[in-house]
């Protein structure tokens, strides 16, 4: 088999003269991931070790026992491997997994909800749509996870997303997510992963700015690490907690 090229992610700001994201960002994002889901999912396999490393840090802080129910929201779950799958391996977990791409959710459904029903059925709800448009009762979740997904929101929306996440978390609940480590007003690429339909958008406040936004949203940061991914891009990983006394 011919060796596949691995193009770098190259998260350098492109549009230096404007900070306005495209008005049709969400529909273009959906169309892109609908088109490139299999390619992305294969390309990103080398990042699974990092995902599981941080997921394990979260799991170590949640009750892993059949007697205590744990409710987790995953934002931009992709096809659910390895993160949703690992969450579902704990029988006391119920997982609400969201993604804007119907192709990604179809792949997740095939992987995680096989027919006939197997383990994990009854624990998983798949929700299609923009994560920012989700609506939950306050204090619903013990943890919210967003891996390589919140970075696809314009950075002003990342602040709005953090506020929503904090409201949805129970007191003492956890956020695990990664963000662009470099400050990135916006970055658009036309053919990401050398895919003709691979238009892509990322944004971020950089490590210091993101930390400030996370704290301003009302979370205490417990883990903050900048990690270089397999593609020469640095991400800020954070594990942060809502205080026990918050409403
Ligand atoms: C880089 S992939 C990461 C997928 C998965 N979390 C992982 O770690 O492999 C980003 C995912 O976020 C989804 N996504 C992008 N923008 C989104 C949005 N506004 N709301 C919900 N999902 C979104 C994409 O469809 C895609 O599946």
Residue pLDDT, tens place only, 97-110: 999 999 999 999 99
Is the predicted pLDDT of residue 3 greater than 60, yes or no?
no
Cβ–ligand 1 contact at 165 (below 6 Å) = no
- Confirm or reject: Cβ of 178 under 6 Å from ligand 1: no
Share of the chain above pLDDT 70, in %: 91
Separation of CA 99 and ligand 1 centre (Å): 6
Task: Give, for 226, the enclosing helix (H) or strand (E).
Answer: strand 219-228
Residue 22, CA distances (Å) to 35, 131, 134, 198 in order: 19, 17, 21, 15
Exposed, middle or buried, 52 (CB in 10 Å: 0-12/13-18/19+)? Answer: middle
Average pLDDT for residues 235-241, to the nearest whole number? 98
**Any ligand 1 atom below 6 A from CB of 131:** yes
Q: What is the largest CA-CA distance in the chain?
A: 57
What are the tokens at 22?
């495209």
CA of 148 to the centre of ligand 1 (A): 7
Q: Is 152 in the pocket of ligand 1 (CB under 6 A)?
A: yes
* The pLDDT value given to residue 2: 37
d(CA 233, CA 8) in angstroms, rounded, equals 8
Going from the N-terminus, what domains does the chain have, and what CATH number goes with each? 25-62+72-112+122-242 (3.40.50.150)
Query: Does the C-beta of 59 come closer than 6 Å to ligand 1?
Result: no
Q: What is the pLDDT of residues 134-185, one digit of tens each?
A: 999 999 999 999 999 999 999 999 999 999 999 999 999 999 999 999 999 9
Q: Per-residue pLDDT for 115 more than 50?
A: yes
Q: For residues 206 and 233, what is the distance between their CA atoms, to the nearest angstrom? A: 12
Chain segment 182-222, per-residue pLDDT in tens:
999 999 999 999 888 999 999 999 999 999 999 999 999 99
What spacing in Å lies between the alpha carbon of 93 and ligand 1's midpoint?
21
Spatial separation of the C-alpha atoms in residues 168 and 138, rounded to whole Å:
5
Residues 6+ apart with CB under 8 A from 2: none
Task: Decide if pLDDT at 16 tops 60.
Answer: no
Q: Which atom of ligand 1 lies at the shortest distance from residue 74's CA?
A: 6
Instruction: Single out the residue of 32, 46, 247, 33 nearest to residue 137, CA to CA.
Output: 247
Backbone angles phi, psi at 37, to 5 degrees: -50, -50
């Amino acid at each position: 088999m011919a060796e596949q090229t691995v193009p770098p992610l190259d998260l350098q700001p492109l549009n230096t003269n404007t900070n306005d994201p495209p008005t049709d960002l969400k529909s273009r994002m959906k169309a892109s991931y609908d088109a490139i889901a299999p390619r992305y999912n294969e390309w990103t396999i080398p990042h699974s070790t990092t995902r599981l490393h941080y997921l394990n840090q979260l799991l170590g802080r949640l009750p892993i026992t059949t007697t205590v129910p744990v409710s987790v929201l995953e934002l931009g779950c992709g096809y659910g491997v390895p993160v949703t799958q690992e969450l579902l391996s704990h029988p006391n977990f119920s997982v609400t997994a969201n993604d804007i791409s119907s192709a990604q959710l179809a792949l997740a459904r095939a992987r995680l909800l096989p027919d006939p029903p197997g383990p994990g059925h009854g624990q998983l709800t798949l929700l299609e749509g923009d994560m920012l448009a989700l609506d939950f009762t306050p204090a619903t979740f013990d943890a919210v996870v967003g891996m390589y997904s919140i970075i696809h929101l314009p950075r002003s929306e990342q602040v709005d997303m953090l506020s929503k996440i904090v409201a949805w978390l129970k007191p003492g609940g956890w956020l695990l997510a990664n963000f662009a480590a470099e400050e990135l007003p916006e970055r658009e690429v036309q053919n990401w992963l050398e895919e003709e339909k691979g238009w892509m958008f990322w944004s971020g406040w950089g490590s210091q700015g993101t930390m400030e936004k996370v704290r301003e949203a009302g979370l205490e940061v417990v883990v903050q690490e900048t990690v270089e991914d397999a593609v020469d891009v640095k991400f800020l990983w954070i594990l942060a907690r809502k205080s026990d006394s918050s409403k």
